[in-house]
């Protein structure tokens, strides 16, 4: 009931109250994975709560380190907070545990920013991973993570070796925006694969 009430509060745009209720729940039972997940979901949904999301997910992984969703939320909080190096290590573990396109896309995104891209999907997964990459990229734009967006825009050549479809879309959007690949500005990427 308390979890449902917290979700109701969030649905009413009463995010602070919802997070307070969830905090009460995890204070009473730190192994309440559903409460940890819900709190992270709420905090990750709004740019003004990103710092809280980092703190919340940092605490959540102390108690729910075996929960793949909680760990993925931690990686997402770090990535959206601009800590792509910290997120990259976690995305690597998550990708190895459950080979899903969105995990690989997040890993490649972090690698494109931080280091040489060492991962790439097979041909069968490239389209799905590129779609997932574009979804992450759009999420970064929505959260106004300028440094990461700019770095990706600068690294489209590196990205093209791992996810050519995603790189082509970003380069095309940059060109349509009157920017060149490598520009340190965000773009509005609304087209889908």
The position carrying tokens 């069968």 is: 124
Dump pLDDT digits (tens) for 133-147.
999 999 999 999 999
Could you give the count of Cα atoms lying within 13 Å of 133 in the half-sphere of its Cβ? 32
Dump pLDDT digits (tens) for 99-124.
999 999 999 999 999 987 789 999 99
**Is the pLDDT at 36 greater than 50, yes or no?**
yes
For the chain, counts of helices (H) and of strands (E): 11, 0
pLDDT at 183: 45
Q: What is the mean pLDDT of the chain?
A: 91
pLDDT at 116: 78
Query: What are the domain boundaries of the chain?
Result: 1-81, 101-193
What is the third-level CATH fold of 1-81?
1.25.40
**Is the pLDDT at 130 greater than 70, yes or no?**
yes
Cβ atoms of 101 and 163 within 8 Å: the answer is no
**Residue in 23, 85, 25 with CA at minimum distance from that of residue 55:** 23
**Is the pLDDT at 193 greater than 80, yes or no?**
no
Dump pLDDT digits (tens) for 53-68.
999 999 999 999 999 9
The position carrying tokens 């709560």 is: 49
């Amino acid at each position: 009931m308390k979890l449902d009430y917290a979700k109701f509060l969030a649905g009413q745009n009463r995010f602070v109250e919802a997070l307070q209720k969830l905090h009460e729940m995890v204070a009473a039972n730190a192994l309440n994975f559903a409460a940890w997940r819900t709190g992270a979901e709420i905090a990750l949904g709004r740019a003004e709560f990103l710092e809280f999301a980092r703190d919340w997910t940092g605490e959540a992984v102390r108690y729910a380190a075996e929960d793949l969703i909680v760990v993925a939320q931690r990686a997402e909080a770090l990535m959206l907070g601009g800590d792509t190096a910290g997120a990259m290590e976690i995305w690597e573990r998550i990708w190895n545990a459950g080979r899903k396109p969105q995990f690989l896309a997040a890993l490649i995104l972090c690698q494109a920013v931080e280091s040489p891209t060492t991962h790439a999907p097979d041909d069968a997964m490239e389209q799905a991973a590129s779609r997932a990459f574009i979804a992450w990229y759009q999420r970064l734009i929505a959260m106004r993570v300028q440094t990461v967006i700019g770095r990706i825009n600068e690294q489209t050549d590196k990205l093209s070796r791992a996810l050519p479809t995603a790189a082509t879309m970003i380069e095309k959007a940059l060109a349509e925006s009157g920017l060149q690949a490598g520009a340190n500005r965000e773009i509005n990427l609304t087209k889908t694969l």
